[in-house]
Amino acid sequence: MAEQDSLITEEMQATIGVESEPWTLEIDKTSVRMFARSVGYTDPVFYDEEEAKRAGYRNLPAPAGYLGTPIFNPNRASEARGSRPNPEPSRPLKRMLNGGTDVEYTGQICAGDILTATNHVSAIEERQGRLGEMLITTSKTVYKNETGETVAIVTGTGIRY
Amino acid sequence: MSTTWDAVSEGMEIPTLAKNCNTQQLVHWAAASGDFYQIHYDHNFAKATGLENIIVHGALKHAFLGQLLHDWIGNEGSIKKVGCSYRGMDFPDQDIQCKGIVTRKYEENGEKLVDLEIWTENPQGQRTSPGVATVQLP
């Protein structure tokens, strides 16, 4: 069987390293509580401001994995996360899976903070795996608070197959 | 309830966090995280994509590992890094054991740090979300 062409088009290659427009995320008390509850946290610091302050936080701390809620704009829904629609691979891939998440925290994040994020695709690879032909995209998102301090860097891996 | 750096030794296991998500928890998570992909709550949709059942969000398992670390270190320490890859699917109403082992204890830039191997484990004993973490301890 002849070897197939790469799934990765030139247009896709060209997106590597291109920084997105920034987008804004709010860390608010209700969202912190909702996130903590959905995970199953029982520590009151995520629910009660007084408890949080007694424990040394400025306000309810953001649980690991919570990096704010993007501000929804019904007229710009596709831009809600700052990213342009990704170009399609040379052959259609219908399904997607989350491959992994790595978060590095460099500052404290609490309710009341407003974060600004930008992201870029850092790598695109193709692989034959147990799911067949797979396209693996790694992206990096940097979150800064209002003082400009970087508070978190997230590396995410998406798999299309 | 705070763990201190002095009390930690390499090779020690941290207390297991036991999870078992029902579909309601997955809907809670969808709303909290903003991930509304239907394979996590719509059985027909999940089957149509070739899955045998609804699957637990990968990012929720990542968040479980965050809770595993938080519950161990308390509020005087902090999580510096937490990451995992999603190697296997987990399903609603099945046990997910979140576990960790200390792999390294060291000081860097004046901070007392601990590296861990962390993972979620399914009822068959498979590590469905293996990863690593770094925490700072008092």
Domain map (residue ranges) of chain B: 5-136
Give residue limits of the domains in chain A. Answer: 10-160
Q: How far is A19 from chain B (nearest CA, A)?
A: 22
Query: CA torsion A42→A48→A51→A57, rounded to 10°?
Result: 100
Q: Does B2 touch chain A (CB under 8 A)?
A: no
What's domain B5-136's architecture? Roll (3.10)
A37, closest residue in chain B (CA to CA): B28
Provide the pLDDT for residue A131: 77
Largest CA distance in chain B: 53
ipTM: 0.96
Q: A-contacting residues of B 60-79, CB under 8 Å?
A: 60, 62-67, 69-71, 75-76, 78-79
Percent of chain A's residues with pLDDT above 70: 91
pLDDT of residue A130: 78
Q: What is the pLDDT of residue A85?
A: 64
Q: List, as ranges, residues 28-47 from B with C-beta within 8 Å of A.
A: 28-29, 31-34
In this prediction, residues A4-13 reach a mean pLDDT of: 87
Nearest 10 degrees: Cα torsion B31, B37, B42, B44: 170
pLDDT given for residue B66 in this prediction: 98
- Residue pLDDT tens, chain B, 138 long: 579 999 999 999 999 999 999 999 999 999 999 999 999 999 999 999 889 999 999 999 999 999 999 999 999 999 999 999 999 999 999 999 999 999 999 999 999 999 999 999 999 999 999 999 999 999
pLDDT in tens, A65-109: 999 998 888 887 554 454 556 788 888 888 888 899 999 999 999
Indicate the CATH number for domain A10-160: 3.10.129.10
Share the mean pLDDT of chain A.
Answer: 90
> Which of B1 and A116 is assigned the larger pLDDT?
A116
Flag whether residue B25 sits within 8 Å of chain A, measured between CB atoms: yes
For residue A80, the model assigns a pLDDT of 47
A98 vs B59: CB contact, 8 Å cut-off? yes
Give one DSSP letter per residue of chain A, joined into a string.
-PPPPPS--HHHHTTBTPPPPPEEEE--HHHHHHHHHHHT---GGGT-HHHHHHTT-SSSBPPTT---EEPP-GGGGGGTTSPPPPPPPSS----EEEEEEEEEE-S--BTT-EEEEEEEEEEEEEEEETTEEEEEEEEEEEEE-TTS-EEEEEEEEEEE-
- Confidence check: pLDDT of A1 > 70: no
- A46-63 pLDDT, tens digit per residue, is 999 999 999 999 999 999
**Nearest residue on chain A to B24, judged by CA atoms?**
A38
Predicted local distance difference test score (pLDDT) of residue A78: 52
Interface contact A70-B50, CB threshold 8 A: no
